[in-house]
Structure 1
């Protein structure tokens, strides 16, 4: 028998953006445990804004698990928060109620800033560094600094070793700003792995005494880019059937549901979606081929392939909850695809 370190990880009840939480228990198993072998576990919900002090019990239900490459015999256990009965999802448990479809593919592009001493990594103690321009996909100490690349490379290795479908990294437009990409087949799978990648990044940065700043516009109303979490998406229908009429109906549905999308695309998006810095205004919907300033960017390949393939919604921001983002995208697509399939059958 081997003693395994089980790190139970969950989302707390803070609003508008939940925090990641984690605690460890030790259990013996003959081999790396299966998900079914991992027990439910309680925690004090009054300390995470998920219960009152007089009745503070909440339960953690394991729903995905991964090897923890940073620990000997470590297991990363992603959990849903349940009520004390262990059956009823807690109101903060967004994962339990979202739409899911294994045929829906999602790719999230997570942008963020490294922060040190209250400023983006690489910023001088006073004022600002040289203007944006050389930092995007940059190389060299003056552009990316001596520490950031070391962190993102370690994070990439941790994610791959854990079995997370991490697809790439790059430095971003602003000084101290970076991005990683996560892809998953199924909305829950993609969102699960985004949360786990966030957890691993934040935990890794502890040893460097560096924080991750997810706010979508941490530098406020300045000439510095904010941070997004662009959502690339497709469904089986979009990949295999598509068509111009379907695409136009889909864009009309996205425009009609603009407010519903913005409501779950991350807080303070009005600060980021200003029409500047490669963004569309938050209160106007637009789409365009290869247009980085549109709400939805349409790849050239999508049009050339007969309006089939994937699309990129550029409005979700870096603080967004990928469970809610994916679910809202699927809700909008579902109404259009149902009508398209009925029309084809008629």
Structure 2
């Protein structure tokens, strides 16, 4: 008899009383820009990351070490309620450290955190629009006719109806699970390509953006497990006349949000223009190769080799929303980050270029993941 997974049977076990024990799931980023996790039992719910023990994992199985020296440490940094295991359980976002307790080369959180501390008085806010594409287990876009194509783009964006929308139950389950976990999801919508969706995290301040976006991705993958689909973060999952997927980053400092802030926004855009190629390298895990397939100057993107900006311009590198320009204050939208970006790198790059400088940032430490 073929084995099967039955959600109703699973639910019976989930309802068992385990009071007095806390299941803590440690989440970390591996050497391929993917997520890993494992769970341990504690006797009480942690009220701060410092109460959680440092743990370790086999880095030789995650593309982060060699087998003869495999242990990598994971240090808890941010706690979220667990939406998958009822009761007093939690998810913990961690970062990684080598045998000498130094940040692992794949740990971009550490540098981001140090940069955010330096600009704390400027209160940098971030909001990231995470686009993704739902796929069947065979790798074909969810809802598309097998071996064929749906009708051309146009009727799918923010749409309604079973002939236009594919996967709304998955999206709503993810939305609720993120809110339960304590993630600042501010909205969601169907995107331009059928089977493609977006949710927005933020505004959050400083390092919280990276922590929350990574955990929201973990929750998305877990929800998709239950529905038997895949959440794909590839920035151009379907070649041809289809929109790609990005992670547009809305960014502001306190000065941008105050009266006369549009002047500060324009000054920031000028600084960003001078570091365009550095940002492109940091805005996808392959150092720009993934984004090259998306940033073509078509399908609501700017060209990867050219920097431009404009009010309400969706073909620009940096867009100033029309209402922000009218109000004379607010935020800018960086449209260059790819859907599979590391938000720690994106947010640090923005504050480095606009508030700090690039001193002591080792570009060589960033290793593209091909």
Question: Same fold, TM exceeding 0.5?
Answer: yes
Q: Distance in 2 between matches of 1:305 and 1:153?
A: 33
Q: 2:143 aligned with 1:125, yes or no?
A: no
- The one-character-per-residue Cα deviations of 1:117-152 (angstroms, maximum 9, x if unpaired) are 21110111122111111110111111113xx11111
Give structure 1 stretches of 5+ with no counterpart: 337-346
Task: Please report how far the alpha carbon of residue 225 of structure 1 lies from its aligned counterpart in structure 2 after TM superposition.
Answer: 0.5
Paired position in structure 2 for 1:278: 300
Where do 1:118-267 residues align within 5 Å? 118-145=139-166, 148-220=167-239, 222-240=240-258, 242=260, 246-266=264-284, 267=286
Post-superposition offset of 1:96: 0.3
TM-score, scaled relative to structure 1: 0.90
TM-aligned CA deviation for residue 52 of structure 1 = 1.1
Aligned mates of 1:298, 1:241 — CA distance in 2: 16
Measure, in 2, the Cα distance between the counterparts of 1:122 and 1:195.
26
Do the aligned partners of 2:96 and 2:106 also contact (CA within 8 Å) in 1?
Answer: yes
| Offset, 1:335 | 5.0
Aligned positions of 1:1-346 closer than 5 A: 2-14=20-32, 18-29=33-44, 31=45, 33-72=47-86, 73-85=88-100, 87-98=101-112, 99-100=115-116, 101-102=119-120, 103-116=123-136, 117-145=138-166, 148-220=167-239, 222-240=240-258, 242=260, 246-266=264-284, 267=286, 268-306=290-328, 308-334=329-355
The separation in 1 between residues aligned to 2:262 and 2:91, in whole angstroms, is 44
SS of 1:112 mapped into structure 2: strand
Q: Say if 1:113 and 1:212, in contact at 8 Å, map to a contact too.
A: yes
Q: CA deviation at 1:84?
A: 2.6
Separation of aligned partners in 1, 2:140 and 2:225:
16
| Structure 2 unaligned residues grouped into runs of 5+ | 1-18, 358-370
Structure 1 window deviating more from structure 2 (93-102 vs 149-158): it is 93-102
CA contact (8 A) 1:187 1:323 kept: no
Q: Per-residue deviation at 1:244?
A: 5.7
Cα deviation digits, residues 163-199 of structure 1 (max 9, x gap): 1101111000001000000014323101110000000
2:16 is matched with which residue? none
Secondary structure of 2:39's counterpart equals strand
CA distance in 1 between counterparts of 2:207 and 2:107 reads 13
Deviation string 1:198-233 (CA, Å, 9 cap, x unpaired) is: 00000111121111111100112x001000100000
Question: CA, structure 1 residues 140+233, in 2 after alignment: closer, same or farther (shift >3 Å)?
Answer: same
Give the TM-score, by structure 2 length: 0.85
Are the structure 2 counterparts of residues 304 and 324 from structure 1 closer, same or farther at C-alpha, using a change threshold of 3 Å?
same
